Structure 1
Amino acid sequence: MNAHALPQEEMGALLARWRAAWPAALACWSRYTRLHEPQLCATTARAAKAGLEGSFAMIRLADQSVVIDLQAVHERGLHDYGVEILAHEIGHHVLAPATATDHFRMLARLRRVLGTEGDAAPMVANLYTDLCINDRLQRQAGLRMAEVYRKLARAPGSAEPGRVWTLYLRIYEHLWRLPRGSLGGGACEEALDADAWLGARIVRVYANEPMVGASRFAALLLPYLVEDGLDAFAWHDTGDAAAGCAPGSLHELEDDGPADALHPAWDTRLTGAEDAEDAPREAVGQGAGQALDPYEYGEILRAGGTSLSPHEIAMRYYRERALPHLVPFPVRADRKAPDPQMEGVQPWSIGDPLDEIDWLHSVTISPRPVPGVTLVRRVYSLESADDHALAPVDLDLYVDSSGSMPDPQHRMSWLALAGAIIALSALRTGASVQATLWSGKQQVLATKGFTRDADQVLHVLTGFFGGGTCFPIHRLRETYAAGRRARRTHILMISDDGITTMFDKDERGNSGWDVAARALAAGKAGGTMALDLPAGWDAAHGGYYRELAATLERARREQGWDIHAVPDQAGLLAFAQAFSRRHYAQDTQERRP
């Protein structure tokens, strides 16, 4: 690539010109627009080290950066368009997508509209935001955006334009009233020209509603994407724009989700056909109020440039879903300042404040004031506070990960969500949490003892084994081997009928009943079982459920386990909310004298 690099002197001049163009590019949006200096790379190799590949420009939303490959710019004949290209990249920070959250939201919408072509969502988002930005710069700022596309069409190595590229350029020609084919597109038949007119209407009508406009644009582009494939667009300056960014509330579909898939031909705001009898009354969509599953959530993050592993994505997903259900942060009311109480007198010596001398008391001792002998001062103390520090109960959490449970990294796991809500609520109030994920023998994932690290807890809760069912009795035994803990600890089991394996014998031959009893006695705060069991399990007669009911009734009667049957796993959400309020809401915490 360096074979095409400019000589050092010419590259220095080009760098100076583009640096000088930066203030003018900022002013195209507003004289108040402020971004730090762009990263201008003299060679394609340096641009690659900055993360720019496959294009001559890119943005990073995490640090609001603009990166330019000046070697690629020169090779495409764009060296005289510094203001245009820089203003375009600034537009991505100012207008669309502007923020990482909006970028992820747009990708989520586009994936729903594109269906089987969902992998093209980043490219479609880039095309649409480019249209919005370039139209404003061409018309309002008077920049030569049309000339930039003519240069790109004539650049060395430019491929024959496909249908997507032809439609895209024809939209610009409609927006700027240019002759058909003047920007270098391919053959344009009447049907494609009509779609291009619709595309131009989308840009203008939805100029202030980019999310809705992007959805209409995706529906318009979909047939052309199916025909051209995913390699329809070579320049992609927002491909990794959201790398390193954390979205907010991305797991939840937006309220206007059902209208996303409406084709612009049926949109009366675009066509003006208010009385169209054949217009569909309702667009096909997934519906509002639904939540993404962890896999789709991860696909959206990856489309935005995130390079997290599936496990890390799952941790972020369940943290985000748990946040609305956590108990409030504990608030401690300020008490009134206590009144000073006089306790007596002590000698006043030279160096003590003069205003502290108790003259009346001193004179009654002797009419001759002698410092340290007859002069005295009063001594005060403050009342002890009536309120005491809050002492949250620690949590020892065991979550079943056997084959009957879903994998939290691919499908929604109510067990993982319930565990996250309860554990994060406990951590929020100052408690420590020990989390253990278990399945078959030797299949145990646990935190390093009791911890205040939320990431460590979520890492355990979002793991998966999918094996047999064998409760880790040794883990419960070793946790309470030393007897009573310094802090009260509640033991919580989230499982199904496999929880009865905790009462089997351990590898040393100890009875699980004895291990559980010692753990409850050492924890001093009781134990709870949230079990995926059908309603009326405790009234079953005969067969497997009779034996199960007998075991659990014995656990309740002899050891005091609080057993909650949750007929469907979705009911674990309500259980987790109630459990968190009962044990970790401020007014339920133990007061420590």
Structure 2
Amino acid sequence: MTGAVTDDALLQRWRDAWPAALAAWSKYTRLRDARLCHTTMAAAKEGLQGSFAMIRLLDQSVVVNLQGVRELGLQDYAVEILAHEIGHHVLAPASAADQFRLLARLRRALPTLEAHAPMVANLYTDLYINDRLQRQAGLRIDHIYRILEQARTAPASSRVWTLYTRIYEQLWQLPKGDLGGGAADQAIDTDAWLGARLIRVYARDWMDGAIKFATLLLPYLAEQQQQMEEFYRLADTRDAAAGCDPSGGYQVEEGELETPIHPVQDRRISGLDEAPTDPAPDAQRTPGSGQAREPYEYGEILKAAGITLSDEDIAVRYYRERALPHLVSFPKMPAPLSTELQPEGLEPWQIGDPIEEIDWLATVVQSPRPVPGLTTVQRQYGREAARRPKPTPVDLDLYVDSSGSMPDPRFHTSYLALAGAIVALSALRTGSRVQVTLWSGKSEVIVTPGFVRDEDQVLGVLTGFFGGGTCFPIHRLRQTFAAPRDRPTHILMISDDGISTMFDNDEQGNSGWDVAARALVNGGAGGTMALDLRPDWDGDQQAGWLQKSYDAIKRARSEQGWDIHAIAQAESLVDFARAFSLRHYTNSSAQSHAKHRPRP
């Protein structure tokens, strides 16, 4: 019973400390109250494991395990610990997007040791927060590190921990070894001084100093990467971005592309005249800022930020983000003015106005004895916007090649999947329904459950992969267009010369040419092929073993009316998809499609 009362008293003390912790940053700081958990089990239900405190960027929350706090002997440091967690929301990383950016930079600066990026990010942001709370808010952050050192169970400190505590000692002018850690040699002392200088120099631009901090830690991590367990109890941002959706994460920022340099090479930090200036000159920058990262790298950063998704879900998110800047605008339908006049307000009728314009009922209501020019009124009329009939959306039947010559969208950028996403999402945006078929060899087919309006279903099929042979699923085209569609439907093929297999006979002996012709007629909105072909595919020069395929594609264009787009480079598929979407999914496209009839 005594223990329960003590726990309740501790809980109340920590609740009472919350306003003071907020005030350590600003009297205007506002966050939801901290989630204070009595037991480790209760904290685990909140997602807190390994450490005694954590932050959640998803709902701007602070979670504290009071049982863990008691076990470490930190129950008297409520303001310090809560203020530290608040600092992660206020200062660094502050948002899921910045956490994502920070991890991306650190991973590039930790070759072969990328798995330690979340821990390095935690240590790095802790330095800025703790230095500010110790020096400006007057909190007892140094006491916490002394208590943690006393609670250590490992036999000896790692060199990483020694370097880290020496940085704090340099920042706060404490005696060497005052915060614990092992024996510090001259190299550690020098690096600790550089680390402290880095924290002060980049206090206002902490994102720009991240790569240099990782470079400082890199040799120590490489020596003792098996001794990182001692940092887990401080890992309060390890899963901070769990459940978040950082937009724009597929883009590589210019800051990531800097050649990693040691802090001693930064003149602002070291003060050495021979050191290069910062930021690094163009010669030290890797060209290509603004480029997109590969899907596998995007996924690794998401996982490092605590976002747990399958490879398939990561691919869906990746291609949706990359497609968004290229989508058509949401349809706008300006309504014309109505041809009928609508009664509006009243205005005085003056002598000289046509007498038939007097509204006698409104006049009598105002005065039972009308006085011309004084009590007489007339009705005003205006025009309202008429409701414009909505055009019939053009559905999309999309076929994407996933044979062995195509990249796996889950690991490397597939411009076929990206182009398909641009076109399909544009179609969905304008009210159309989309059916996607991913195909490779015989019986290697994935298709959406008919024509759907669900983005996830569409992107889930587009980001799949077979990597097998090449055999177009003629039966899918035959079944989809066995009868005229209820709405106009455009057929789009994204492939290479392997699309010629759609004109072979199907499993029932039907000619692929007949199936394709019937599909165009019953679809009623035309067909397009975006194909990776040689630049001279349409010339008279013989193309060797590709000639048969090229002849079939030419015949499809001349006899059936397929619109053929030869794509010289895979990247050009993005330009094609954007132009295709503008042409087929704007306000006027439905009317133009309704007039279009392919040649049978």
Q: Is 2:565 the counterpart of 1:533?
A: no
* 2:302 matched residue in structure 1: 301
* 1:250 matched residue in structure 2: 249
Identify which of 137, 157, 160 aligns with 1:161. 157
| Residue pair 1:497, 1:548 contacting (<8 A) in 2 also | yes
- 1:575 corresponds to which letter in structure 2? F
| Residue pair 2:294, 2:413 contacting (<8 A) in 1 also | yes
Q: Secondary structure at the match of 2:396?
A: strand
Deviations 1:22-61 (A, max 9, x none): 1111111111111112111111122122211111111111
Q: Distance in 2 between matches of 1:356 and 1:434?
A: 63
Q: CA RMSD in A?
A: 2.6
Q: Distance in 2 between matches of 1:432 and 1:60?
A: 38
* 2:71 matched residue in structure 1: 75
**CA 1:215–1:398 in 2, change beyond 3 Å: closer, same or farther?**
same
**CA 1:154–1:285 in 2, change beyond 3 Å: closer, same or farther?**
farther
With normalisation by structure 1, the TM-score equals 0.89
- 1:579 corresponds to which letter in structure 2? F
Q: Distance in 1 between matches of 2:2 and 2:301?
A: 39
Paired residue total: 558
Q: Distance in 1 between matches of 2:117 and 2:155?
A: 22
| Residue pair 2:497, 2:546 contacting (<8 A) in 1 also | no
Q: Secondary structure at the match of 2:435?
A: strand
| Residue pair 1:216, 1:260 contacting (<8 A) in 2 also | no
* 1:514 matched residue in structure 2: 514
| Residue pair 1:163, 1:186 contacting (<8 A) in 2 also | yes
1:253-264 pair list within 5 angstroms: 253-259=252-258, 261-264=260-263
1:565-576 pair list within 5 angstroms: 565-576=566-577
Q: Secondary structure at the match of 2:518?
A: helix
Deviations 1:116-165 (A, max 9, x none): 11111100100000000000100111000000000000015255211111
* 1:432 matched residue in structure 2: 433
* 2:142 matched residue in structure 1: 146
* 1:443 matched residue in structure 2: 444
Q: Secondary structure at the match of 2:291?
A: coil
Deviations 1:516-564 (A, max 9, x none): 1111001111101111111111224163222112111111111101111
Q: Is 2:272 the counterpart of 1:273?
A: yes
Identify which of 109, 131, 134 aligns with 2:130. 134
| Residue pair 1:419, 1:576 contacting (<8 A) in 2 also | yes
**CA 1:185–1:382 in 2, change beyond 3 Å: closer, same or farther?**
closer
In the TM superposition, residue 496 of structure 1 has moved relative to its aligned partner by 1.0
Q: Distance in 1 between matches of 2:518 and 2:563?
A: 16
Q: Is 2:550 the counterpart of 1:554?
A: no
Q: Which runs of 5+ in 1 are unaligned?
A: 343-354, 360-377
Q: Secondary structure at the match of 2:446?
A: strand
| Residue pair 1:257, 1:286 contacting (<8 A) in 2 also | no
- 1:206 corresponds to which letter in structure 2? Y
- 2:265 corresponds to which letter in structure 1? W
* 1:48 matched residue in structure 2: 44
| Residue pair 1:493, 1:529 contacting (<8 A) in 2 also | yes
Deviations 1:67-99 (A, max 9, x none): 111111111110100110011011111110000
Q: Distance in 1 between matches of 2:26 and 2:342?
A: 65
Q: Distance in 1 between matches of 2:404 and 2:257?
A: 35
| Residue pair 1:60, 1:242 contacting (<8 A) in 2 also | yes
Deviations 1:187-211 (A, max 9, x none): 1111111111111111111111121
**CA 1:383–1:275 in 2, change beyond 3 Å: closer, same or farther?**
closer
**Structure 1 consecutive aligned stretches of length 4 or more whose deviation exceeds 3 Å:** 274-287, 334-339, 355-359, 380-388, 585-589
* 1:363 matched residue in structure 2: none
* 2:355 matched residue in structure 1: none
| Residue pair 1:325, 1:421 contacting (<8 A) in 2 also | yes
Identify which of 197, 200, 204 aligns with 2:193. 197
- 1:479 corresponds to which letter in structure 2? T
Q: Secondary structure at the match of 1:66?
A: strand
* 1:545 matched residue in structure 2: 546
- 2:196 corresponds to which letter in structure 1? A
Q: Distance in 2 between matches of 1:407 and 1:203?
A: 42
Q: Secondary structure at the match of 2:111?
A: helix
**CA 1:304–1:14 in 2, change beyond 3 Å: closer, same or farther?**
same
| Residue pair 2:25, 2:87 contacting (<8 A) in 1 also | yes
| Residue pair 2:267, 2:277 contacting (<8 A) in 1 also | no
Q: Is 2:109 the counterpart of 1:116?
A: no
| Residue pair 1:152, 1:158 contacting (<8 A) in 2 also | no
Q: Distance in 1 between matches of 2:76 and 2:285?
A: 47
- 2:418 corresponds to which letter in structure 1? L
1:67-466 pair list within 5 angstroms: 67-155=63-151, 157-229=153-225, 231-232=227-228, 233-234=231-232, 235-259=234-258, 261-276=260-275, 282-283=283-284, 285=286, 287-336=288-337, 338-340=339-341, 385=386, 387-466=388-467
Q: Distance in 2 between matches of 1:82 and 1:47?
A: 17
| Residue pair 1:397, 1:436 contacting (<8 A) in 2 also | yes
**CA 1:549–1:81 in 2, change beyond 3 Å: closer, same or farther?**
same
In the TM superposition, residue 260 of structure 1 has moved relative to its aligned partner by 5.4
Q: Distance in 1 between matches of 2:304 and 2:201?
A: 27
| Residue pair 2:336, 2:385 contacting (<8 A) in 1 also | no
| Residue pair 1:401, 1:467 contacting (<8 A) in 2 also | yes
Deviations 1:238-286 (A, max 9, x none): 1100010011111111123332512211111112234548998543647
| Residue pair 1:120, 1:230 contacting (<8 A) in 2 also | no
| Residue pair 1:262, 1:283 contacting (<8 A) in 2 also | no
- 1:130 corresponds to which letter in structure 2? D
In the TM superposition, residue 391 of structure 1 has moved relative to its aligned partner by 3.0
Q: Compare 311-320 and 201-210 and name the one that shifted more.
A: 201-210
Q: Distance in 2 between matches of 1:64 and 1:341?
A: 52
* 1:473 matched residue in structure 2: 474
Q: Distance in 2 between matches of 1:260 and 1:586?
A: 48
| Residue pair 2:337, 2:384 contacting (<8 A) in 1 also | no
Q: Distance in 2 between matches of 1:226 and 1:484?
A: 66
Q: Which runs of 5+ in 2 are unaligned?
A: 344-358, 364-378, 596-600
| Residue pair 2:58, 2:242 contacting (<8 A) in 1 also | yes
**CA 1:586–1:115 in 2, change beyond 3 Å: closer, same or farther?**
farther
Q: Secondary structure at the match of 1:245?
A: coil
- 2:306 corresponds to which letter in structure 1? G
Deviations 1:200-250 (A, max 9, x none): 111111111121121211111111111110642222111100010011111
Deviations 1:396-455 (A, max 9, x none): 100011111111001110100000011111111221111111111221111111111111
Q: Distance in 1 between matches of 2:417 and 2:329?
A: 21
Q: Secondary structure at the match of 1:390?
A: coil
**CA 1:137–1:381 in 2, change beyond 3 Å: closer, same or farther?**
closer
**CA 1:9–1:529 in 2, change beyond 3 Å: closer, same or farther?**
same
| Residue pair 1:39, 1:66 contacting (<8 A) in 2 also | yes
Q: Secondary structure at the match of 1:565?
A: strand
| Residue pair 2:53, 2:62 contacting (<8 A) in 1 also | yes
